[in-house]
Structure 1
């Protein structure tokens, strides 16, 4: 069962989590690293939600030792970066689906400075978004190149609400696209209702309703369940529901999802989808790829 907590760790407080030899981890880097300037920027809500959603554990650590690996032991490292084998003490587990050892090791790629020197990591504190490496107690694998963030109480404060929503019983499902959309004109001129049914990762029901009434601005909302709620409202920005929509919906309504046969109804469905997409806003990311 998932757990959500923050605690100071003792040697017996938590079990081991992930692992692998230096060579084994080095052969499977998460992806191409981000630039130094991007990593220095504050992550957006979408960044934090992306990292948190992919992680089995979010861990606050203090680095005890960081060993720069030679190129022949660090395949795939991008130019201008160096791979470290890190040994760290676990200060707290912010959230996780797996137990985390009091001492952990992991690999991370870091940018060289302007003089080509590797950064000093010893004694620095970081927030890790990681997964255990099966059958290798005490080692973690970062979920992305940017999954080691410089720790601060402010960063933890921003991450906690994201994790609370992700670990909730009624967590909003990941959106994979649009299944169907249908616009139905009303009896009055300028009156209509458009239903947009969303495809989700686990086939959980989700839909968007757009209502147009004469003399009034169009209204829309999202329903997360079997019942389509005509009084549903748009999700607040920087919430998990907003993130699912902003980062999961396609830019335009797919042609094959538009069920209307009448050309005017098809135009209305596409227009209402565009209206919703603009109202949601962009999925801004600074440190994570899509």
Structure 2
């Protein structure tokens, strides 16, 4: 019989139900947007591809906060490929995960399934992991692996954009001819690194905007591509409207232009779509 480690010591004294290995085809895998993956991957000290070797379903009373249609399972897995993780990992891993039930209300067969885990190590317990979120055990696909690797690769770059914490100020200057103007919007970040938006308007031309990750504004810079780390920081970190305090030093016309230009940027970025909002328990 499998020995349950201290990770779930509180549940060791109650009966656990082995996952039904005869369950039918697992429920369709959740669809993760770029924001869903970035939300999880960027805060995960460990990203690892593993193969499940054993899974045991916990009794409902020992799994508070589980979403309807899901069950909490204790999992043992073999580590295959470490994508991220200082110091490496032992070959055998254990953790808790919330998984969707099949049409019969049973946990689908998990043994033998390859998964991508986004987790943190349990201090002093080699091989024991705590998933970043209860649903951060994701069925592995080549696309999923590629997307997570791309996010983590961008995040490790020296010029990786930091999380945005707010907007400090906005300025607008009219040009020399009617319809010409420039707006600059300065953002605050968690790492106190400067980020600014620049929006240029010229008569008869579509507005152009760019983002600068430093003190120098490059007028030739282009907007960040969708589903990139910079796009994520902006689309998911900026407020939908320019705060009133950001235009406090502008006259009414300049403030109106700045708000309009900011709205243009938000529209161009598009929505920060989250198909699987982070759940905690």
**What is the Cα deviation at residue 124 of structure 1?**
0.8
Cα deviation, 1:184-211, whole Å, max 9, x if unaligned, reads: 1122211111111111111111000011
Verify: 1:256 aligned to 2:242, yes or no: no
Q: 2:91 matched to which residue of 1?
A: 102
Greater gyration radius: 2
**SS class of match (2:138):** strand
Distance 1:54 1:84 in 2: 23
**What is the Cα deviation at residue 98 of structure 1?**
5.0
Compared with structure 1, are the counterparts of its residues 145 and 194 closer, same or farther at alpha carbon in structure 2 (3 Å cutoff)?
same
TM-score, normalised via structure 2 length: 0.86
> In the alignment, is the contact (CA less than 8 A) between 1:146 and 1:288 conserved in 2?
no
Verify: 1:74 aligned to 2:60, yes or no: no
After TM superposition, list the pairs within 5 Å mapping 1:202-241 onto structure 2. Answer: 202-241=191-230
> In the alignment, is the contact (CA less than 8 A) between 1:180 and 1:258 conserved in 2?
yes
RMSD: 2.2
**SS class of match (1:54):** coil
Deviates more, 1:66-75 or 1:264-273: 66-75
Moved over 3 A (4+): 23-26
Compared with structure 1, are the counterparts of its residues 172 and 97 closer, same or farther at alpha carbon in structure 2 (3 Å cutoff)?
farther
Compared with structure 1, are the counterparts of its residues 89 and 219 closer, same or farther at alpha carbon in structure 2 (3 Å cutoff)?
same
> In the alignment, is the contact (CA less than 8 A) between 1:186 and 1:193 conserved in 2?
yes
Verify: 1:265 aligned to 2:254, yes or no: yes
Q: Which runs of 5+ in 1 are unaligned?
A: 1-18, 27-36
**What is the Cα deviation at residue 85 of structure 1?**
0.8
Verify: 1:193 aligned to 2:179, yes or no: no
Verify: 1:279 aligned to 2:259, yes or no: no
Q: 2:113 matched to which residue of 1?
A: 124
**SS class of match (1:40):** coil
Distance 1:167 1:62 in 2: 26
Q: 2:38 matched to which residue of 1?
A: 49
TM-score, normalised via structure 1 length: 0.84
Compared with structure 1, are the counterparts of its residues 39 and 221 closer, same or farther at alpha carbon in structure 2 (3 Å cutoff)?
farther
Compared with structure 1, are the counterparts of its residues 24 and 185 closer, same or farther at alpha carbon in structure 2 (3 Å cutoff)?
farther
**SS class of match (1:275):** helix
